[in-house]
C-alpha cells in the first residue's frame, strides 16, 4: 500500500481495537416492524420510521403516479428548471400544517440546516448553539463563517449568560445573532425548553431556529411538532423539518415568515446548487401530510407503544436516560459492551445498533431503540424479552 494512505489503515485498525468501528449492515426489505438485514428477518428497533409510513401503500401509489406524470428525476436545481408544481403544492401544504406563513423544501433535513444557517448569518455574526445539537447544525455553522458559541445542553440560563457576554443590543460586537437548538435531541430523546428559549430570544432581540427533525410527526397536535406542542406559534423564527423520519420518505424544509423563505429562495445554497427533490419523493410526502391531517391514530399509537416499552424496560432495571419521547436509549457506557450487546440481540433476531463515539461522547455508548406505530404489542414483548435475556447474560441487569 502507498505510504500516503497508510494512516487510513492505522486509523481503521485503531477503531476496531477501541470498539468504535461501525459495521454497516444491509437492509434487504421495505422498512417496517420486521425487516430483512444481511439475509436475516429481524425485529426492527433501529429505523426512524416513527409512524410506519415508509412502506405505506398510499405513499407508494402516490410516488408511482408522480413518476408516470413527471418522470424519474428533476434534471435541474430548483432555481433554474427544477421546481415542479408538486414542490409548490408541498410547500403550501406544509405551511398550513405547521401554521406558518411559508415553507421552502430542500433535499434533506441536513441540507435544510446547511442552507438556512449559511444564508442567515455570516462572518460578522454569532451563533449560540446547544452543545448537543445535530451534526448538520454544527456543519451549517462552520459553513456560515459565523462565530459559534456553544452553551450547556438545554440550559436556558447558560444561553442567556452567553448572549450577555457577547454583547447586548446597545453594544454587540456582531451584526446578527442566531440561537439554534434541536427540538428533540436524537441520541437522548429529551426535549428542548422551547418556552425559555423563546423568552431569551425575544429579550435579546435575536433570531431563534429550532431543528425539529425528531419532533415532526411525533410532538404536537397530530404530529405538528415542538412549536405546536408548547403553543409557541409565531414566536419561533425558523423551524427546520425533515420528511425522512415520521413522514417516511426523504427531504427537508424550512418553515417561517415569508421574508425568511423568500431569502432562502435567493440565497439557500443547496436550493441553488443541488438538484431538486424528485417528483416521486415529493408526491409521497404530500400523501404523508394527507394522512397526518386526516387522523391522529398513528401518532397516538406511537406514544402508546413508547410508554409501554419504556415502562417495561425500566422495570427490568435498564437505564433509559432522560428521554421524554419515543426515542429510547439503553445506556451502557462501555463501547465494547454496546457492540457485544447489539451482536447478541441480532443473534436473537432483534436489530438494535450500538451508538458510540463520535455520534455520542466516549463512555456514553448505548443502544438506541426507535419505537414505531408499526410495532404490535407482541413485537414489543418479543424485544423486551430478548433485552432481558441478553442483559442478564452480560450482567447489565439482574
- Which residues are annotated as catalytic? 186, 214, 245
Q: Which residues of 215-248 are buried (b: 16+ CB within 10 A; e: fewer)?
A: bbbbbbebbbbbbbbbebeebbbbbbbbbbbbbb
- Whole-angstrom Cα distance, residue 365 to residue 46? 15
Which residues partner with 211 through β-bridges? Answer: 182, 240
- Whole-angstrom Cα distance, residue 393 to residue 344? 10
Cell digits of residue 315: 422495570
Cell digits of residue 341: 450487546
Query: Which residues fall within 8 angstroms of residue 300, CB to CB, at 6 or more apart?
Result: none
Q: Tell me phi and psi for residue 241, to 5 degrees.
A: -125, 160
The CA–CA distances, whole Å, from 91 to 83, 87, 111, 378 equal 11, 6, 16, 38
Are 301 and 309 in contact, with CB atoms under 8 Å apart?
no
For residue 259, the surrounding DSSP H or E stretch is helix 258-267
182-282-98 Cα angle (round to 5): 45
Q: Radius of gyration of the chain from Cα atoms? A: 22
Cell digits of residue 37: 438485514
148-149-155 Cα angle (round to 5): 140
For residue 131, the surrounding DSSP H or E stretch is none
Cell digits of residue 328: 429510547
Question: Which of 378, 391, 394 is closest to 316 using CA atoms?
Answer: 391
DSSP letter for each residue of 5-71:
GHHHHHHHHHHHHHT-------B-S-SSSEEEETTEEEEE-S---TTS-TT-HHHHHHHHHHHHHH-
Amino acid at each position: 500500500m502507498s505510504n500516503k494512505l497508510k494512516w487510513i489503515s492505522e486509523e481503521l485498525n485503531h477503531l476496531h481495537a477501541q470498539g468504535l468501528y461501525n459495521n454497516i449492515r444491509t437492509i434487504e426489505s421495505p422498512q417496517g416492524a420486521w425487516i430483512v438485514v444481511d439475509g436475516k428477518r429481524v425485529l426492527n428497533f433501529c429505523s426512524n420510521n416513527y409512524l410506519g409510513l415508509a412502506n405505506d401503500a398510499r405513499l407508494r401509489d402516490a410516488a408511482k403516479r408522480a413518476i408516470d406524470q413527471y418522470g424519474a428525476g428533476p434534471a435541474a436545481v430548483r432555481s433554474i428548471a427544477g421546481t415542479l408544481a408538486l414542490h409548490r403544492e408541498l410547500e403550501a401544504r406544509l405551511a398550513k400544517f405547521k401554521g406558518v406563513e411559508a415553507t421552502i423544501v430542500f433535499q434533506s433535513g441536513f441540507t435544510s440546516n446547511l442552507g438556512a444557517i449559511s444564508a442567515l448569518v455570516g462572518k460578522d455574526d454569532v451563533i449560540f448553539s446547544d452543545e448537543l445539537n445535530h451534526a448538520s447544525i454544527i456543519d451549517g455553522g462552520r459553513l456560515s463563517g459565523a462565530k459559534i458559541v456553544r452553551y450547556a445542553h438545554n440550559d436556558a440560563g447558560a444561553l442567556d449568560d452567553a448572549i450577555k457576554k457577547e454583547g447586548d443590543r446597545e453594544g454587540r460586537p456582531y451584526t446578527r445573532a442566531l440561537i439554534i437548538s434541536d427540538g428533540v435531541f436524537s441520541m437522548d430523546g429529551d426535549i428542548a425548553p422551547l418556552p425559555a428559549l423563546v423568552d431569551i430570544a425575544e429579550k435579546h432581540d435575536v433570531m431563534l431556529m429550532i431543528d425539529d427533525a425528531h419532533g415532526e410527526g411525533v410532538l404536537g397536535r397530530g404530529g405538528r411538532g415542538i412549536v405546536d406542542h408548547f403553543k409557541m406559534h409565531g414566536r419561533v423564527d425558523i423551524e427546520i423539518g425533515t420528511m425522512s423520519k415520521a413522514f417516511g420518505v426523504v427531504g427537508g424544509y424550512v418553515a417561517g415568515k415569508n421574508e425568511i423563505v423568500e431569502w432562502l429562495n435567493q440565497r439557500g445554497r443547496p436550493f441553488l446548487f443541488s438538484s431538486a427533490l424528485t417528483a416521486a419523493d415529493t408526491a409521497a410526502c404530500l400523501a404523508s401530510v394527507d394522512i397526518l391531517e386526516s387522523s391522529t391514530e398513528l401518532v397516538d399509537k406511537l406514544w402508546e407503544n413508547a410508554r409501554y416499552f419504556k415502562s417495561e424496560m425500566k422495570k427490568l432495571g435498564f437505564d433509559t436516560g432522560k428521554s421524554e419521547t419515543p426515542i429510547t436509549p439503553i445506556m451502557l457506557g462501555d463501547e465494547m459492551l454496546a457492540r457485544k450487546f447489539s451482536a447478541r440481540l441480532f443473534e436473537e433476531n432483534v436489530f438494535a445498533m450500538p451508538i458510540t463515539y463520535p455520534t455520542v461522547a466516549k463512555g456514553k455508548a448505548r443502544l438506541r431503540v426507535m419505537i414505531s406505530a408499526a410495532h404490535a404489542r407482541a413485537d414489543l414483548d418479543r424485544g423486551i424479552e430478548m433485552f432481558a435475556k441478553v442483559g442478564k447474560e452480560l450482567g447489565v441487569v439482574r
